[in-house]
């Protein structure tokens, strides 16, 4: 089955700096790659997603890039703010949708004021 690896497991950045989280996947049939943000005491919340027919997608300060050949995708957060502090999860699915997601192990992002 699909295996998703996520790095780093923890990341500390100064407010205003950029943060990058990287994931690799094993199943070349995977075609949907969402990113979720989980705050303390809450469930994961979708922040951005990308499909395999697109190389990059941007939404304000958040961007995701996908390299199908290398089977890796990355989350980029620019101009980080303290409220960006949370655990971020990448995920992958072969169904082109959020059905049967395989999640990475998570990255604890801390934005230092």
Partner 1 sequence: DSGVTQTPKHLITATGQRVTLRCSPRSGDLSVYWYQQSLDQGLQFLIQYYNGEERAKGNILERFSAQQFPDLHSELNLSSLELGDSALYFCASSLFGGEANEKLFFGSGTQLSVL
Q: Which residues bind partner 1 (CB under 8 A)?
A: 32, 34, 36, 41-46, 51, 89, 91, 95-106
Whether 101 contacts 112, CB under 8 Å: no
Residue 111: CB minimum distance to partner 1, A = 23
Residue 9: CB minimum distance to partner 1, A = 11
Q: Which is nearer to partner 1, 29 or 98 (CB)?
A: 98
Q: Which is nearer to partner 1, 61 or 95 (CB)?
A: 95
Q: Which is nearer to partner 1, 80 or 88 (CB)?
A: 88
User: What is the rounded distance in angstroms from the CA atom of residue 58 to the CA atom of residue 68?
Assistant: 18
Q: Which residues, including other chains, have CB under 8 Å from residue 60's CB and lie 6 or more apart?
A: none
User: What is the rounded distance in angstroms from the CA atom of residue 47 to the CA atom of residue 45?
Assistant: 6
Residue 30: CB minimum distance to partner 1, A = 14
Residue 84: CB minimum distance to partner 1, A = 19
What b/e string do you get for 83-109 counting C-beta neighbours within 10 Å, with b at 16 or more?
ebbbbbbbbbbbeeeeeebbbbebbeb
Q: Which is nearer to partner 1, 9 or 67 (CB)?
A: 9
């Amino acid at each position: 089955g699909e295996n998703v690896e996520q790095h780093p497991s923890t990341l500390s950045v100064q407010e205003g700096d950029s943060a990058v989280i990287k994931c690799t996947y094993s199943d070349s049939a995977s075609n949907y790659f969402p990113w979720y943000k989980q705050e303390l005491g809450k469930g994961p919340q979708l922040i951005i997603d990308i499909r395999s027919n697109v190389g990059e997608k941007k939404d304000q300060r958040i961007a995701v890039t996908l390299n199908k050949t290398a089977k890796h995708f990355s989350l980029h957060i620019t101009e980080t703010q303290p409220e960006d502090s949370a655990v971020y999860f990448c995920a992958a699915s072969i169904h082109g949708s959020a059905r049967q997601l395989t999640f990475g192990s998570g990255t604890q992002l801390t934005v230092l004021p």
